[in-house]
Structure 1
Amino acid sequence: MRALVLLLFALVALAQRLTSPEEVARVEVIKKALPAVVRVQGSALSGEGPVVGTGFFISPGRLVTNYHVVRDLADLTVRLLDGRTFPAERFAVDPGIDLALLQVRGVVAPAQLRFGKSEGLPVGAGVVVVGNPFGQPFLASYGILSGRGPLEAQALDPSVGQEVGEYLFTDAPLTVGNSGSPLLNLQGEVVGVVSDVVGGPGGVGGIGVAIPAELVAQSVEDLQRYGIPQRGWLGASLLSLDELPPVLLRAVGLTTTQGAMVDKVEPGGPAARAGLRGAQRDAQGRLLALGDVILAVNGRPVRNKAEVVQLLARYRPGDKVRLTLWREGRRLEVTLTMVARPRSAP
């Protein structure tokens, strides 16, 4: 009888602390995720002192973090939840989506996280982040999936992440040090990897930005198998039509701002091999004539440059992709053949 009374008291106490099924799920997700999350740290090559980010194990000795976290660091180490610290090294990197894989020496991961699907996660669904905000180790935050879509290029480091067509946004409190943190659903699956915070002074009070899990998982598979990403890519820089002067669009007969203009074509890339034409500019860089305008990818209309990048990223080397273009006042179609991209510098 006494044991039953104690059990009832325990259940009442638990109910007072955890008031909803969602709260119970959230606590369980954090509890299971914490041992898989690490503090990534190293010495800045610029001599500015230690730099801290976050990562998480996906296999016994390998973890995921952001490329921008480790890009300029030497003497990489990772700190586990129990306080132990181990040396780490870059295994492979994918600057195009701001991702890096680290190999950790001398440890077997106490826990690992698995990737889920972000695509079916509805806006408003609860999400959890575990990381190292301001370098303070192993803190969790909670919020909702606020939305998904492209991000203005100037909001992020222009040298990384330019091949992410669609980001996830969350109102979960995030700040410096959370880069590389897992964004988890309430089943404990990684649905995104935190890459930045935009808005607010120094990012505080802003919106968290994460790379969708599907894109991360694809990159991880490529990096582990080939050492470089195998996403489809155009091999050209783009401008969304709504970034261009309307007078130039009208001059070539375009009545829409839905699409993306080819600005500069990279030698040897898929765009160059398919004969795509870039824009003409004067010595000061002012636009004189439009390049080819991409209106659709494999028959699917595109609204902007982000959608072109996102759609092409689904293909692999050897795949053929049909582009619908607007060139010199008429529509035409060309076929791109995806090729393996040049090896990215670590």
Structure 2
Amino acid sequence: MRWGLLLLLPLLALGQRLVSPEEVARSQAIARALPAVVRVQGTSLAPGEGEVVGTGFFVSPFRVVTNYHVVRDLADLTVRLADGRTFPAERFAVDPGIDIALLTVRGAQAPGVLAFSRTPTRSLVLGMGVVLVGFPFGQGPLASYGILSGIGPLEVPTPDPSVGAEVGEYLFTDAPLTVGNSGSPLMSLQGEVIGVVADVIGGPSGLGGIGVAVPGELVAQSVQDLERFGIPQRGWLGASLISLDELPPVLLRAVGLTTAQGAMVDRVEPGGPAARAGLRGAQRDAQGRLLVLGDVILAVDGQPVQGKAEVVRLIARYRPGDRVRLTLWREGRRLEVTLTMVARPRR
């Protein structure tokens, strides 16, 4: 309660200066976030990198959400609260597939927690106002605001394709952010978390860059799984995919495909749902050049797919034990295969 009063007093004092309902909502959302947001820091295990800083936020009294890529190679983890107090932390569980880590903070109870929005990602409105609070360059907490610029797959290459590979669609924003903002909550003007900042492409936002965030509903599901099982229970195919529109049309015509809508199975992981169902990956030569197409996924449970992002998004809805029907194109003909979702292995 004391945190809330301290944060609201400046807003009340400045009430005459906040001239629009949006300004009031924005300020209240930021005030609600400040006690929950923390600076995540640790010593890099990579030679010569020293201290690494990111952002996280409390989702329960002793649990902090941040990015997996922030803490993956760090030792001596600590979190610093907005009031300057610092506490040791440790990794509780991780979900590299969507670039999320859950930390346990020792010795302190959160002065505030943030809740995930219950609005489905597909129902978020482009152009809606958003705010984020974090520690850019380790400084802060600092807030910024902008709009929800888009929802869709990330088309640019990332430093580590294995991290975040199971995010079918990201949120994009023009809200300024930069190094150190990874793990920041992206919030609606109602103060609910709609996403977790993962990256900025093209340079810092405001200088030609675009902020990228993992959708909040995906993170909320992962947090529940990590708390209960220690690993994500999100549906997974157990195979890498390539959208058909990324392949030369001559290869598609050679196997009788007249559409570029769908996703080709490139590599199949041993023991995963795809392998158990007999899906076939592509054949490549020693230089990695594509020789023979793998199975092409045209639909998931009867729903046609545009590309790999849509396959990932649809499969992610299922849980271990669920059965999923795939419509495939193999050797010039359509066929249907049923996959049974299984719990993913611990890594």
Map Cα deviations across residues 74-123 of structure 1 (whole Å, 9 max, x no partner): 10000001100000000000000000000000001000000102432200
> Aligned partners of 1:283, 1:101: CA distance in 2, in Å?
40
**Conservation of the 8 A alpha-carbon contact between 2:205 and 2:211:** no
Query: Which residue number corresponds to residue 55 of structure 2?
Result: 54
Query: Which residue number corresponds to residue 20 of structure 1?
Result: 20
User: C-alpha displacement at 1:201, in angstroms?
Assistant: 6.9
**2:146 paired with 1:178:** no
Map Cα deviations across residues 307-343 of structure 1 (whole Å, 9 max, x no partner): 1111101100000000000011111110000011111
Q: 1:215 aligns with which of 178, 199, 218?
A: 218
Q: 2:201 aligns with which of 185, 193, 198?
A: 198
> Aligned partners of 2:19, 2:205: CA distance in 1, in Å?
34
SS in 2 for 1:119: helix
Q: 2:238 aligns with which of 235, 238, 243?
A: 235
SS in 2 for 1:23: helix
**Conservation of the 8 A alpha-carbon contact between 2:237 and 2:273:** yes
> Aligned partners of 1:158, 1:11: CA distance in 2, in Å?
47
> Aligned partners of 2:59, 2:208: CA distance in 1, in Å?
30
SS in 2 for 1:122: coil
**Conservation of the 8 A alpha-carbon contact between 2:176 and 2:205:** no
> Aligned partners of 1:151, 1:11: CA distance in 2, in Å?
41
Query: Which residue number corresponds to residue 5 of structure 2?
Result: none
> Aligned partners of 1:200, 1:137: CA distance in 2, in Å?
20
Query: Which residue number corresponds to residue 152 of structure 1?
Result: 155
For structure 2, list consecutive stretches of 5 or more residues without a partner in the other structure.
Answer: 1-10
Aligned length: 334
Map Cα deviations across residues 181-216 of structure 1 (whole Å, 9 max, x no partner): 000101110000000000137995410000001100
> Aligned partners of 1:169, 1:273: CA distance in 2, in Å?
36
Query: Which residue number corresponds to residue 29 of structure 1?
Result: 29
Query: Which residue number corresponds to residue 137 of structure 1?
Result: 140
Query: Which residue number corresponds to residue 187 of structure 1?
Result: 190
**Conservation of the 8 A alpha-carbon contact between 1:173 and 1:205:** no
> Aligned partners of 1:11, 1:181: CA distance in 2, in Å?
26
SS in 2 for 1:248: helix
How does the TM-score come out when normalised to structure 1?
Answer: 0.94
SS in 2 for 1:238: strand
> Aligned partners of 2:291, 2:82: CA distance in 1, in Å?
57
Q: Residue type matched to 1:24 in 2?
A: V
Q: Residue type matched to 2:80 in 1?
A: R
**2:310 paired with 1:307:** yes
> Aligned partners of 1:341, 1:11: CA distance in 2, in Å?
50
Q: Residue type matched to 1:269 in 2?
A: G
**2:227 paired with 1:224:** yes
Q: Residue type matched to 1:115 in 2?
A: F
User: C-alpha displacement at 1:153, in angstroms?
Assistant: 5.1
> Aligned partners of 2:326, 2:12: CA distance in 1, in Å?
61
RMSD between aligned residues:
1.7
**Conservation of the 8 A alpha-carbon contact between 1:66 and 1:98:** yes
Map Cα deviations across residues 215-270 of structure 1 (whole Å, 9 max, x no partner): 00000000000000011111111111011111110011001100000111111111
**Conservation of the 8 A alpha-carbon contact between 1:175 and 1:203:** no
> Aligned partners of 1:104, 1:56: CA distance in 2, in Å?
11
**2:270 paired with 1:271:** no
Identity of aligned residues (%): 79
**2:231 paired with 1:247:** no
Runs of 4+ in 1 over 4 A off after TM superposition: 10-13, 201-204
Q: Residue type matched to 2:195 in 1?
A: G
